[in-house]
Amino acid sequence: MAEATQLGRQRHFVLGNLRGVSAAGLTFAANGDTWTTPLHVIGAILLTPTTNTAYGFTVAGGTITLVSAGALTFRGGVLGL
């Protein structure tokens, strides 16, 4: 389990009463890799994969863990509190 690699810097934004974090590119090298966000609670994961591979996520607080058969790269972000 390692931290996902981000392309560029995190972008923070506010949408109504929610905070958001986005990344231009987010690469998970293997199953079990994590992305630690500054959010306390994640309400929505808005990540789009750049390849056609089955995947899922588990969430604990502000940390997302990838569940997949291999490496994946995403674009997008998360919304939460």
| Mean pLDDT, each 10-residue run in order, the chain (81 residues) | 90 94 94 95 94 92 93 95 93
- Output the CA–CA distances (angstroms, integers) from residue 79 to 29, 30, 31, 34, 50, in the order listed: 23, 24, 23, 16, 20
Cα(51)–Cα(55) distance, integer angstroms: 11
Alpha-carbon dihedral angle through residues 43, 54, 1, 42, given to the nearest 10 degrees: 0
**Stated pTM of the model:** 0.90
Q: What is the CATH number of the domain that holds 35?
A: 2.60.40
Structure tokens given for 76: 């997008």
Cα(70)–Cα(38) distance, integer angstroms: 26
Give the domain range for residue 43: 5-80
Q: What percent of the chain has pLDDT over 70?
A: 100
Nearest CA to 28 among 78, 80, 64? Answer: 64
Domain count, the chain: 1
